[in-house]
Structure 1
């Protein structure tokens, strides 16, 4: 009766369609559970495909896949919730599931189940994807990992400032290996990443082998070009160009070793029109010039100054280690000094010392660093030196490598004279056989320039170079580990006695220069030795047999041993000797045994003031002699000039004259003019008040002229036939005047248009440097605006009557240094606001004198106030 009543009520309130939601509830519920299970499986399979595409193939999931997965997730959650709620609704069913004790609620729930079932079915049907992910569009920039740095902020700001200039398209960053160029480029990349800009930033690393191909691959990947079956560089370049020409890009190109051909790689050249930029790093200055000839846009990264260097070292070694003992911090400062500001060295050695907590460990580290034996420290021989050695490996050939390693024979921080170094190389046979000495020297200077360009040597003015301490240590490591030549280098280490070694027989080059060795009393068995540097010691005695076992020796340097009065007769055993340097020794006579040196090509007797005797026919016996240097030699020049007539190969001479008559007699010798006379010193003149230097005007290769202690000399005459002579004094580079007390001016130096250095010292009567009155007498010089156009250094010392350098301001386009001391009457300098434009002029002087300087105008004063450096 109750059942009949319920059926009657259901039929009264609901139509047949609504009643079906109750009747089909259980079937739809089972169907929903089955479909949801299938949807979960489908979602799981799709997610697996997406993860593989994203994690392994580095693709980005498609938006439609992302949308399907999101909707599937929502459907599954909703369906699971309905299934969880279904039990109470099933319990309300009766009459075999056709009726409900709560019909309204059951119909509503049945509708939800039926709808969700259809949604799940539809979602499953839409879940068939052939592709789930695709390559994402590249971001405008990507961040690169970079450690906190010290001391690069200045360079970062400099590069960034350069990037803002529309006219600058290519920027070069150059410097020594390990100085921080790549780190700086990382910082530039990350500044792009952190800054709002419209560049597409591309990072690429070049390689020594196949640099263009490697860079093309990195560019193609960065701009989203897939390999389209490229067969050649040109095909890649075409595709790259077609993409980049439509973009404003910044190409960051790291570590190039030669000019990188942007066009061949497919990179459009940066212009103001496209606004693109190329920033590259290199160890070679010449590569910078080839890529970007405007050196204002090429930025050299220098080693860190002492304070910044210590900060970086402290970061790597740890402040806890430095506090382990009161003296460790002082020793750490010494370690930092040995690293000479090179970040790679500071980082590597800092890490190596981080675990060293005792004073003795630090003392040992200082010892090995000072002995250039740092390779024993952890990481140095295996990590730091190999990175630096790559610059050495990339030198053009063995000649360049030998010349580079040779520089490590000098002490740390030694300023090496270029000309002297090249003369050593000639003696060693490093350079090609040339028809004349000048060509060989030019080749030597070319090699020096190439080593400077490779950042393996540092330029110190025009005439000297220096080797960075860490590069020197690396060179000695190379010579010890890799090369056939074996170096024994104990230069500048305060030796007082002749050193000892286990295997003298293997040594090919030895340097004991810059020590305090007094006696050489033990024979060295060195059958392979080719080079021996003994200069700048306190040598007094060299035993007669010392040179007996050095048959291969080619270069012997005994210079600046002022107490060495006698050469051993055993020097005759050096039958292979080509280069003998006795400059600045106390030698009193040359032994006749020197005649045995049949191969001698270079003999330096400069500043041997005590040399009184040279055996007759000794100089003429050196039949292969090419260079003879005798400036300020105590032995008279005329006898030497007579013997020089027989030297067929003599090319270079430096010489001193002690009277005008000597100079006049010398001009009669043919050899005097056929030689390339490079240096002449006129010294101790007492026989003339005026000097005519017509003979010197004809010396086409004269570089340096010294007038010293010419007590009676009042005037150097300017003659008409000098001014008319083509090329007169054009080779002059340096003039030195010393203790010429009666000279009132030196106007004649204006005939040296290429003069670079002028030193005037202790000339008590000098009133002006250039006399306008005397210039006015020579029509060719009247109104000459090129006076001192090549001058770089002007030194004036102890000139009590000097009032003017020149009456008018001069441009001084090359001037770098003015040194004025004890010149109380010199109140005005020949400078105006246009002088020394573009040069970093430094003016050294006394503070009291500087306060009294009179300036042409206020703008000149403001321009040069920052140039002053007090003594």
Structure 2
């Protein structure tokens, strides 16, 4: 009694499939060596193709400002864990290589990247600018308004307001492409054109050789017409001067004046920077703080910088002294930002811990207006100048330099740059700093950076100059001896230097820091560099230097030599 279940199954198909599988696996092993040789030959040919391709890609990216296509990206290989698996992969890769060589179409290696509508700019929460923001934004919405100006005193918050407008475009949906450019009295129109060209993808090797008119024509053709009601283009700008506003936009209804803050909002901003805890340290401090705010006359920059300086002052006597200093430096009514205002801003400079901090701060004014200063480069210059303490290690010295930078940022004398590795200086603070250096008995600066110089400048009393900056110009040749026996720092970076005559350095016995960076046409150093017997810091970053002269061995004190991005 039971159930009997029978099944008939032919074994022939199973045996056949097993045999096919075994012989197939064996073929991967047997043909492994032949496939490897074939793959190596195919890869060699593909590498040649890739080398030619990447050369074209580099030209497209570096010179034409284009972005490579996805199909240009290469493929990667893997590491097998067994001979059978490896054999399969080799055979597969061999076929892929053949297919890629036969089917790859690289007639186009790059395309223009899409133009972002707006680039977000750093901007902190503000006090008292809300109504001005609404006025500016409302004005931009009017179809009949093509040009608008924002004007007011230096340090009153014009750039902060424009940053907020820019970021409003960044955060909302719209049809505009926003282009940010910096213009100033010592920044020629060509620099503005270059900023616009870089933003819209026109900047390349050929751009630099074009005339002003040719550059203007290229920008116009690219789709940046003069503002009209028909094309909807807009221009908004900031200036300290009313007459500039009138020239750009005669209808004053379309220009917005940014006023100094009224007392209530001024005190609110000051309290934010000084800290409510400090104001409550003593019953008298709050009343004294009102007097300090009154002396700042509602200027946001003064409120911020002096507020930071007073954040650590905990006794009424310290506050009374601050009021006394501020009242001696300027009238109670703010007529303009100039020598009347600088002493007020200088109070924050005077409150720095010691002379070392103050010297490091003054050094920052050697850089061009609105220049993004790389922290590490700045600290290395301070070390070369001997502005920092003596340290057992380079790392320790650099740590002190970054500590000083942090303190200057905390005091609102420096601002954080777009990225964490850089800082910048507000233009009013920079003007004040140059004024301090000009009034100093021991610090004599000669700063002509970013003013489109094409040859060596002339100056009176060269013998008094201790630091000189000619960076960001178009100087091609240095053919006159620089008679500066007390010069310690010389910035010549970002020029078009081609020739430095042998005797140029003859009268610079005290020079400690020499920056020649980003002079890509400078192919060699003069033998006269041996005369720089005090030189400690030599920056050749991004130059065309191909070899160093043997005379360099005479520089016994040289501690820093930057050869990054050179062919040496």
TM-score by length of 2: 0.49
Which structure is richer in relative contact order (CA contacts within 8 A, separation 6 or more)? 2
Of Structure 1 and Structure 2, the greater helix share is in 2
Of Structure 1 and Structure 2, the greater strand share is in 1
Structure ID, larger Rg: 1
